[in-house]
Amino acid sequence: MLTQDIAKALAARLDGDGTIEIERLVHPAQARGPADLALAVSAGAAALLANCPAQAVVVSASRPVPPGSFRAVIAIDEGRMALATLTALFDPGPVRDKGVHPTAVVAADAVLGEGISVGAYAVIGAGSRIGAGTSILPQVTVGANVSIGADCMLHAGVRIGDRVIVGDRVIIHANAVVGSDGFSFAPDLNSPEGFKPGVKVTRVHSLGNVEIGDDVEIGACTTIDRSTLEVTRIGRGTKIDNHVHIGHNVTIGESCILCGMVGIAGSVTIGDRVRLAGGVGVGDHVTIGDEAAVAAGSGVATNVPARTFVSGYPALPHQRSLENFQYLGRAKRLHAKVDEIAARLALLEKK
């Protein structure tokens, strides 16, 4: 790709040679030659430019390089979106087979779209449909009567249960599981009946389904349980990190971010553009409103209103959690102060 095309994709100014053929996007420390484009937007990366063998660089417009230092300089205003654009331009995706690998077991009545890739030892069940341009890497299991959209990427070892519906452009990372059974029993998990000697814990079967919207990303080893009778739903554009657990009957809105190791118990409802930081736990039947955010490691036991930032265990409005934490840090001094007051009071009382 030519430097001028890269600048165009970034809608950024290019100073110098627009015709350098770029093959790799690199950190300045790893640049080796003229086909490398060094990305040096952060101060740390920019400091490495002095000895960088690359001839083309992307820098922050607010941190310009001396004129003539490089054959081509692309200056950007906002680093994060530029990083997204640039990494997308240079990502070849995983190496994969063209077409269906001869060892893949594809049901006779499965319907495969054009231009798909199905890797070695993948299994696609009866009645399933895979959209055009979708890649299924080795050893993936797609159950029966599954519907997967176009241009998806299912990494190695992904398990998709029967009847699950997956939208377009969905990415599912290695060893994730979509459509496992819900964890639901009689008597109810919290019922006193459950503690009685001789109790037989009887399972509630999961007859429902999972539906994954377009442009969703699901992390490695993440699991999403099917609903008891309805549908566990992940809204369009929502991104889910590794090791996330999404229980049965859960509804998650659009463009949410669920970071690593988030755990969502059954029957939770989450709005749109909600951000759950790493390790957050959400108790069953809780509702979290649109554009709410939860700080890392928090335990959400009660509903969170829209546009609220909560933190802590149990989670409170962040300002209150912070206050609690600060007052806790002053407890020692408070105890000393009260002791001193008590002594002075006793002295007064003696008079």
Q: State which of positions 223-262 bind its own copies (CB under 8 A).
A: 223, 225, 228-230, 237, 239, 241-243, 245, 247, 255, 257, 259-261
Question: Residue 41 and residue 25: Cα distance in Å, rounded?
Answer: 13
Number of residues that bind its own copies (CB under 8 A): 127
334 binds its own copies (CB under 8 A): yes
18 binds its own copies (CB under 8 A): no
Question: Residue 162 and residue 159: Cα distance in Å, rounded?
Answer: 10
Q: Report the site for its own copies in 90-119 (rule: CB under 8 A).
A: 90-91, 94-95, 101, 103, 105, 119
Measured CA to CA in angstroms, residue 67 lies from 64, 70, 71, 77, 84 at distances of 9, 8, 10, 18, 27
Per-residue b or e along 155-170, where b marks 16 or more CB atoms closer than 10 Å to that residue's CB: bbbbbbbbbbbbbbbb
Closer CB to its own copies, 114 or 328, in the complex? 328
Closer CB to its own copies, 8 or 307, in the complex? 307
What is the nearest approach in angstroms of its own copies to the Cβ of residue 190? 8
User: Do 37 and 22 meet the contact criterion of CB atoms below 8 Å apart?
Assistant: yes
Question: Residue 75 and residue 65: Cα distance in Å, rounded?
Answer: 9
Closer CB to its own copies, 150 or 226, in the complex? 226
Q: Report the site for its own copies in 63-92 (rule: CB under 8 A).
A: 80-81, 83-85, 87-88, 90-91
Give the distance from CA 41 to its chain's centroid.
24
8 binds its own copies (CB under 8 A): no
33 binds its own copies (CB under 8 A): no
Question: Residue 156 and residue 137: Cα distance in Å, rounded?
Answer: 5
1 binds its own copies (CB under 8 A): no
Gyration radius from the chain CA atoms = 27
- The residues, ordered by sequence, that sit 6+ positions from 334 with a Cβ below 8 Å of its Cβ are none
Among 5, 15, 17, 181, binds its own copies (CB under 8 A): 181
* Active-site choice (173, 245, 248, 335): 248
349 binds its own copies (CB under 8 A): yes
Among 7, 46, 57, 156, binds its own copies (CB under 8 A): 156
Stretch that binds its own copies, among 15-23, 46-54, 55-63, 183-191 (CB under 8 A): 183-191
What is the nearest approach in angstroms of its own copies to the Cβ of residue 144? 4
Question: Residue 335 and residue 102: Cα distance in Å, rounded?
Answer: 75
11 binds its own copies (CB under 8 A): no
What is the nearest approach in angstroms of its own copies to the Cβ of residue 129? 15
Closer CB to its own copies, 19 or 103, in the complex? 103
Q: Which two tokens stand for residue 76?
A: 């950007």
Closer CB to its own copies, 91 or 114, in the complex? 91
What is the nearest approach in angstroms of its own copies to the Cβ of residue 132? 21
Q: What DSSP state is assigned to residue 196?
A: S
331 binds its own copies (CB under 8 A): yes
What is the nearest approach in angstroms of its own copies to the Cβ of residue 68? 25
Burial of 126 from C-beta contacts in 10 A (0-12 / 13-18 / 19+): middle
- The residues, ordered by sequence, that sit 6+ positions from 51 with a Cβ below 8 Å of its Cβ are none
Establish whether 155 is a catalytic residue.
no
DSSP states of 271-314? -SS-EE-TT-EE-TT-EE-TT-EE-TT-EE-S-B-TT-EEETTT
Stretch that binds its own copies, among 12-20, 48-56, 60-68, 175-183 (CB under 8 A): 175-183
What is the nearest approach in angstroms of its own copies to the Cβ of residue 214? 12
Closer CB to its own copies, 65 or 126, in the complex? 126
- The residues, ordered by sequence, that sit 6+ positions from 21 with a Cβ below 8 Å of its Cβ are 1, 2, 35
Q: Which residues participate in catalysis according to the annotation?
A: 248
